[in-house]
Every structure is written in C-alpha cells, then in structure tokens.
Amino acid sequence: MDQGISDRFGLAVLDPLDGQASSRSERRDQQVQRVLEAAKACFIRSGFKGASMQEICAEAEMSPGALYRYFPSKEAIVEAICEADRRDDASCFIGMLDNPSVVDGVVYAALHHIRHTHECNKTALFAEIRSESMRNPAIDLTCSRNISEVGKRFHQYLSAAVERGEIDPPVGFETLLPTIMAIGEGMALNDLPGRGVDMDQLEILLRAMVVGMLRPRTADVATNTD
C-alpha cells in the first residue's frame, strides 16, 4: 500500500517498518476500546455480577483467548473504564481553573459532570459500578482511587481560595469535601438533564447553593453572613 495514499485517507500504515509498530498499537487500542464498549453494554444489561466474561466476548465478537490477552478479569475492565473517567475528570479540572472565581469554577465542574454523565449515557453504568463497589474490594479500591483524586483536586482548589480570602466556608474541609462530592454524585446519578431539568435553571440554583456553602467575600455575590 502506498503510504501517501494511506495517510491522505487516514488509513492505518501497514507496510513500512516504523508504521507496523504504530499500526499494532492502534489495533490494540481499537481492540481494547471494543472490549470496553462491549463490557459497558453487558454490565448495564446484566449487572456486573450477572455479566460473564463469555457474555462480554460474545458482545465484542471476540474469542475468550483474545479478550483475556487484554483483560484478565471483569475487575480489570472496570479499572480501565475508571481510568478513562479519570482522564475526563482531569480535563474538567483544567476547565474549572479557567473560571474567574471559585464559585464559577465549582458550578462549572458540577454542570460539566452532570452534562458529561448524561451525554455519554453513563448513568446506569455509573450506578452499577458504584453498587458493585460496595461488595467487591477490587472495585471499591478502583472507585476509592478516583474519588480520592477528585477530592484532592477540589481540596487544592478550595483551600487556595480560602487562603487568599476569596471564600469562607462555614465548616472545615473534612465536612465540605465529602458533602460536595456526594452532591455531585447524586445529581449525575439522577440524570437531571434526562429528566427534563433545564441546564440554565440548574446553573442558577447551583450558584445559589454554592454561594451558600462557600460564602464568597467578593462584591459580586449577594450572600455574606459576616
């Protein structure tokens, strides 16, 4: 195959020696993606416990040998799904930091999480993984790692704002952080956009709520209990 043509048409480069490696890695990524999509469908349909590796193979149209080459267990598949979520979270945090105030940033992060969960149709998968984490130590570890990473980012972001006097939350971080994260999870899990909640109205309500919880000291907010 002519490399020029394959490049122009966005095809995988198979012939040249350096192209072989890139093609192998691309094919591997595609296969992994195929397993992840198949597993998500099976977990949603049958539950984590109910879905067998056989069912995932059938859904992915892949032999057990091929599937086990990528993932030794369902737990390893969930880890890869959560790893992808961590990358989404990281891009959400970059967006959060771009906001002019910490209230705007927290509202942005909440709306982003709610919208992303809705648009990627993740509600049912998310509920299933969460529920499985309560009986499965391996899944619990994966979930805890994600939660603790999100908690660390929020902690850095909010404590910097407290230090520079931008906000004055009425309670310490040991109460504030788990509560904010529990609220975010509840809103995503309930798929508010899917239930017809208008996102502009939700933004107004979230801002009022976040202002209440963080007590910003800047002039553009109406709430200050001092």
Residues β-bridged to residue 216: 167
Of 23, 99, 131, 146, the one binding its own copies by CB under 8 A: 131
Buried-state track 182-214, b at ≥16 Cβ within 10 A, e below 16: eebbebbbebbbeeeeeeeebeeebbeebbebb
For residue 212, give the DSSP letter.
Answer: H
Place of tokens 């930091």: 97
Of 134, 163, 219, 220, the one binding its own copies by CB under 8 A: 134
In whole angstroms, how close is the CB of 207 to its own copies at the nearest point?
8
Question: For residue 47, what are the contacts with CB-CB under 8 A and spacing of at least 6?
Answer: 128, 132
210 binds its own copies (CB under 8 A): yes
146 binds its own copies (CB under 8 A): no
- Tokens coding 155: 């902690």
- The residue (of 46 and 146) whose beta carbon lies closer to its own copies is 46
- The residue (of 88 and 185) whose beta carbon lies closer to its own copies is 185
135 binds its own copies (CB under 8 A): yes
For residue 72, give the DSSP letter.
Answer: S
130 binds its own copies (CB under 8 A): yes
165: helix, strand or coil: coil
Q: Binders of its own copies: how many residues, by CB under 8 A?
A: 55
128 binds its own copies (CB under 8 A): yes
Pair 188, 113: CB distance under 8 Å: yes
Residues 19-58: x where in contact with its own copies by CB under 8 A, - otherwise, as a string: -------------------------xxxxxxx--------
215 binds its own copies (CB under 8 A): yes
On the CB side of 16, how many CA atoms lie within 13 Å of its CA?
10
CA dihedral 188, 78, 144, 135 (to 10 degrees): 100
120 binds its own copies (CB under 8 A): no
On the CB side of 64, how many CA atoms lie within 13 Å of its CA?
5
Residue type, 119: E
Of 8, 195, 219, 220, the one binding its own copies by CB under 8 A: 195
Residues 153-192 that bind its own copies (CB under 8 A): 169-172, 174-176, 178-179, 181-187, 189-190, 192
- Tokens coding 198: 């208008």
219 binds its own copies (CB under 8 A): no
Chain residues in the site for its own copies (CB under 8 A): 44-50, 123-124, 127-128, 130-132, 134-135, 169-172, 174-176, 178-179, 181-187, 189-190, 192, 195-198, 201-202, 204-206, 208-213, 215, 222-225
